Amino acid sequence: MLDGGAEYSDAEIERIRDDVQILAEISVESYLKKKSEKSFEYPDDEQFFASLLSEGNKEALRADFMHRFDFREPSLKRAVFDKLKRLVMEEMAQEGRTKCELHLVAECDSQNLVLDHIIPLSSNELNKYLRRMTAPQGKKVPAQSFGANHRENFLVACAKCNNFKKHRFIKKEGSGWVIYSFKK
């Protein structure tokens, strides 16, 4: 039990301690500012995710899916993810999630399983396709921070599907997943 009376498992306490250690290594002011910013940088980003996740309904997006978003610095989220992924994979395996849930490539298998984010931690897809940004010479189009390390934002993927997906967005189609196409 930690202060506040809430009960936590040993694994959760260890995760919290790891997160606190990581957070101690960054600017506390920056962390608190970014953590309180639970909004999209551009209005068309919110509309994109409403269309992707909640049939275009922004209110449903805010009510049902905002826990899948974290707009903080991607390197911070990646460091936390690196600490969480082994434990989360073990929990998912205990739930019977022991096969690739993506099935994006013909060579999909259940070998070399990894934890993947449904909404990527960061992506430059919206800057490229919605805002038509171009990369400065020798650089990439800037990425934005989106996905959270929340359990509902994870799925199990084989390394082949995970590598194919990269930082792109996926959507449920029927009983499976497909890469979202910006080309209409």
pLDDT mean across residues, the chain: 87
Q: Would the pLDDT of 23 be above 90? A: no
Reduce the DSSP state of residue 155 to 3 states and report it. Answer: strand
Q: What is the pLDDT of residues 148-182, one digit of tens each?
A: 999 999 999 999 999 999 999 999 998 899 999 99
Pairing of strands 154-158, 170-173: unpaired
Q: Would the pLDDT of 28 be above 70? A: no
Q: Where are the domains of the chain?
A: 10-179
Q: What is the pLDDT of residues 38-63, one digit of tens each?
A: 689 999 999 999 999 999 999 999 99
pTM equals 0.79
Residue, of 166 and 10, whose pLDDT is higher: 166
DSSP string over 16-51: HHHHHHHHHTS-HHHHHHHHH--S-SSHHHHHHHHH
DSSP H/E element including 114: strand 113-117
Instruction: Name the band, by pLDDT with cuts 50, 70 and 90, for residue 77.
Output: very high
